[in-house]
Amino acid sequence: MASSRLSRKLALRLTMPLVAVAVALTAIASTMPSPAVAQEGILRRWSLRDLFMPRREPRVDPYILEQPQGQPRKKIRKTPRKPKATVGNVSRPAEPAVPVIEKAADARVVLVIGDFLGGGLAEGLGTVFAENAKIRVIDRTNGSSGFVREDHYNWPEQAKALIEQEKPAAVIVMMGSNDRQQMRVADNREPPMSPGWTKEYTARTEKLAKAIAETKVPFLWVGMPAFKSSKMSTDMLAFNDIYRAATEAAGSEFVDVWDGFVDENGAFVTSGPDINGQPVRLRSDDGINVTRAGKRKLAFFAEKPLNKLLGITPQGTETVVPASLPQATPGELNVPVNIDRTVPVSLSDPELDGGTELMGAQAAPKGDPRSPGEKLAVQGIAPAAPPGRADDFSWPPKPLPTAQGTETTTAIKR
């Protein structure tokens, strides 16, 4: 009996700690999250990358069901970057808008006719005279017109009708960019720049120039610029020669704009200096159309001769010729009777100021018309040395010239 009691006491003492441990574990297990909750957010597939570069995972406390989330980061607004400046696309401040002044009722009209390049010229001239209330620029161009397709648009006939309608003070012509195509001559189709094509094209050009001249309205003919295609540029040069001849034959002026759209070697350029000398883009990507700066540059070439036709001085004022003074014919200098200033000399007529003679020139000797300087520079013949000079090698020595009443000896007198 004693041994059985002792064994029961010993077993009870040994099982009591185990029961206490089991109860504690049960309480802890009741407070712990399930394995799915504890591992939520960190379960992932294993890859070979984990062998060399272990990933850093956020520490998850298994005893906290909801992890505190961090505050969202504030988005920083970045200032948009300015585009990098490239060749022909220089970052420059925007040009101020040109104020447009309402034109006067009696404003004189400048009529622009031609193709789409002529329309660009009209836009540039509109900018030039935007602040001049006495000049109005009217664009009556036809973008797809020219001299080849008279069935589409006949310029000699249309020009007279437009001049009669608008009553312009001056006319500006610019066309030719659409004319590199076949032309119907009688019953034949002539290829561009062939002898028959060139003959007919010249005749149509002269017909338009004469039609404008018959209206007694002064006009300017603005030539074609260079194009990106070398073949087109070559044809434009030939066109400009035809336009120049027809314009001068009609007693008017041809405006050459070629140098404004090529480099120093005469090659086409997409970008170049504007009217202020700043690098800008002048032509579009197709190498034919002109940009806004290019249109203003076309107007820059036509502005000076146009002001001359309209009687506008460089200061912007208009010159009024008195009715009492006789009108001078072209090429004749009209000098008033009472004049208090020096009469300007025409550089194209040097005979007016004795331009055939040099200032301080000496008459050449009658025997030989060549001067001593010309003999020395051209033939290498030096003038004869005066007697007694170091380069006088004459033998016997020539006597030195003496002045009357002077002594020839160089001995020192005591």
Length, in residues, of the chain: 414
Q: Which domain holds residue 252?
A: 108-183+190-310
Beta-carbon contacts of residue 272 (< 8 Å; ≥ 6 apart): 260, 261, 263, 279, 280, 282
Q: Confirm whether 65 is domain-assigned.
A: no
pLDDT at 346: 59
Query: In degrees to the nearest 10, what's the CA dihedral of 112, 113, 119, 123?
Result: 0
Q: Confirm whether 151 is domain-assigned.
A: yes
pLDDT at 14: 67
pLDDT at 401: 73
Residues facing 261 on adjacent strands: none
Q: Confirm whether 17 is domain-assigned.
A: no
Q: Confirm whether 216 is domain-assigned.
A: yes
Tell me if 183 sits within 8 A of 201, measured CB to CB: yes
Q: Confirm whether 31 is domain-assigned.
A: no
> Residues 4-56: pLDDT tens digits?
666 676 666 766 767 666 666 665 555 555 544 444 444 566 676 766 666 66
Q: Confirm whether 18 is domain-assigned.
A: no
Amino acid making up residue 268: F
Give how far Cα 216 sits from Cα of 164, 168, 171, 212, 232, Å: 11, 11, 11, 7, 34
Provide the domain count of the chain: 1
CA distance 15 to 9: 10
pLDDT at 40: 46
Tell me if 201 sits within 8 A of 193, measured CB to CB: no
Q: Confirm whether 319 is domain-assigned.
A: no
CA distance 254 to 266: 20
Q: Confirm whether 261 is domain-assigned.
A: yes
Beta strand pairing call for 183-185 and 188-190: antiparallel
Secondary structure E strands in 65-197: 108-114, 135-139, 170-174, 183-185, 188-190
Give how far Cα 120 sits from Cα of 32, 47, 141, 292, 390, Å: 83, 67, 10, 8, 74
Which residue ranges in the chain fall short of pLDDT 70?
A: 1-7, 9-12, 14-15, 17, 19-46, 48, 50-100, 314-370, 402-414
Tell me if 38 sits within 8 A of 6, measured CB to CB: no
Looking up residue 160, the CATH number of its domain turns out to be 3.40.50.1110
Residue 262 burial (CB count, 10 A): 15
pLDDT at 39: 45
pLDDT at 413: 47
pLDDT at 400: 78
pLDDT at 321: 45
* Structure letter (DSSP) for residue 113: E
pLDDT at 41: 46
